[in-house]
Amino acid sequence: MNLSLAKHTSKPFRFTVTKVTWGFFTLLKHMNIRLTGLCLILFYVFPAYGQGLADLSKPIYVKWSYKAEGVTSLTPAVDGERVFLPLTKGSLISVTLAGGRLSWRSEIGGVISASPVVDETSVYVASESLPAPKSPYPQATGVLRGLNRQSGLTSWMRMLPSPVRGVISVSAKYLFASSADGRLYAINKDTGEISWLKYNASPFNFFHSQAGGILYIGDAAGDISAIEQEGGRTLWRYRTRKSLRTSIVVSANIVYTGTADGYVFAIDRLSGRIIWRVRTGAAVQAVLAAEKCILATSLDNFIYCLAPQNGAKLWKRQLAGRVAAPPLVFNGSILVAPLVGDECVILNLEDGKKINSIYVGEDNNTEAAPLLTADTLLLTTREGLLALTNQSQTRQAEATP
C-alpha cells in the first residue's frame, strides 16, 4: 500500500508501508543517550543490513507501523532485535525491529511510572501500585522489576516506598533511579538488591546522566550534584538557585542543563565550576549535545543552537508548537516533534532551516523521545510505533535474503 505524502515534505517523496522479513543484525556498540528534560533515550548501534537509514534530509519511507491502544508519553527502550513499549494499565509489549510483530506482552499491573531501559539480558521497568483504601499504615507503592529480554518473564522484583519517576539509567553493575519521594537509588541490576540509597534536603529530580563513573543529577532547589556511582559519595554541588526542568547532559567534560527561568548552564564536569550561562526566551525544556553545538528547546516554541565554548547563539528557529520530546541529531540533521501539527520537522544543524518533514497525523506526536538504530528511526505516536528508513519498498524487497 502506497501513501503519497509529498505535500508534507520540503521535497516531494512517497512513504511506503511494506512487509519486511527478518534481517541480519550484529551488535557493534552500546551507547547511552540522555533525553533532555523530557525524557531519557537508550539505544544500541548496529551495522545496517542494506542501505538502512543514512540521511534524514533524504526521502524517508515507512518500514512498518504497529498499532497499539493505551500509548503513554514514556519513551520506549530498544535493542538490536526489539523495541519495548510501555502502555497504560501496566502493560509492556515487545515488538520486533525487523518486521513490527508482537514478540511478547507482560502484564505488570498498576501503572508504569518511568521509561523502561534494556541491556544485554534484561528489560528494567518501574510501576506504581495503588495503596489499599483507608489503610492506617504507610504502604509501599513503588515496584522495580527486571524482566527477561527474550521472554518478558520476571527475573526479580524490588518493592520501594514510592514509585520511580522519569528515567532509569543502567551501568555495568547498577540501575540508577529517583523516586517520587525524592530518594536516589543504586540497585544491583542482577539481583534487585539496593546497593546504596541517598537522601537530599531537596528532593532529587527524575532525570540524570552518567560519565566516567560519576552520576550527575539535579534537585528541586536547582542544585546540580556529582555523585560517585560506587558508594554514592557527593563530589561537588553547584547551585543554579532555580528549578531544573531538564535532564543533565555531559559532553567533552562539560555538564549542561537548563532552568525554569530560561537559562542554559555549562559547568566543568570535574570541578563543578560554572563556565558560562546563557538566557533563552522562556523556561528550558530540553538540552542536547549535538555534533557542533548545544541544542536547547524552550517554552516559547524556539530551538536554540549554542556554541559549546561560550554559549553564543549561533541560530534560533521558531517551531509550530511546544516541543516536549527531545530533539534527535543524526548526520547534520535535527528531528523535532512539535505537539501541534501533523508532522515531525527536520532542520539543518548548520543554520536551523527546514530541510524535510515526516507526516505522522494530526496532533499525533507525543512526549516520547525518537529512537535511532543504524537502519531504523522509531517514532512513538498516539496510535503506536512508526519505523522509518531511507529504503523504498523496492529496495527493501531487494535487501530481503
Contacts 24+ apart (CB under 8 A), 291-296: 291/329, 291/332, 291/349, 292/349, 292/350, 293/349, 294/249, 294/251, 294/256, 294/264, 294/266, 295/327, 295/329, 295/334, 296/258, 296/264
Question: Which grid cell is 215?
Answer: 552520576
pLDDT at 12: 35
H runs (alpha helix) in 226-273: none
Q: What is the pLDDT of residues 321-345, one digit of tens each?
A: 999 888 999 999 999 999 888 999 9
In this structure, is residue 188 part of a structural domain? yes
* Residue 257 pLDDT class (50, 70, 90 cuts): very high
* Residue 396 pLDDT class (50, 70, 90 cuts): low
In this structure, is residue 61 part of a structural domain? no
User: Is residue 155 within 8 Å of 124, Cβ to Cβ?
Assistant: no
Amino acid at 242: K
Q: What is the pTM of this model?
A: 0.83
Domain count across the chain:
1
pLDDT at 291: 81
Domain that holds residue 152: 74-199
In this structure, is residue 184 part of a structural domain? yes
pLDDT at 395: 55
In this structure, is residue 214 part of a structural domain? no
Q: What is the mean pLDDT of residues 22-43?
A: 33
In this structure, is residue 147 part of a structural domain? yes
In this structure, is residue 195 part of a structural domain? yes
In this structure, is residue 391 part of a structural domain? no
Q: What is the pLDDT of residues 43-98, one digit of tens each?
A: 333 322 334 577 899 999 999 999 999 999 999 999 989 999 999 999 999 999 99
Supply the CATH number for residue 106's domain: 2.40.128.630
In this structure, is residue 86 part of a structural domain? yes
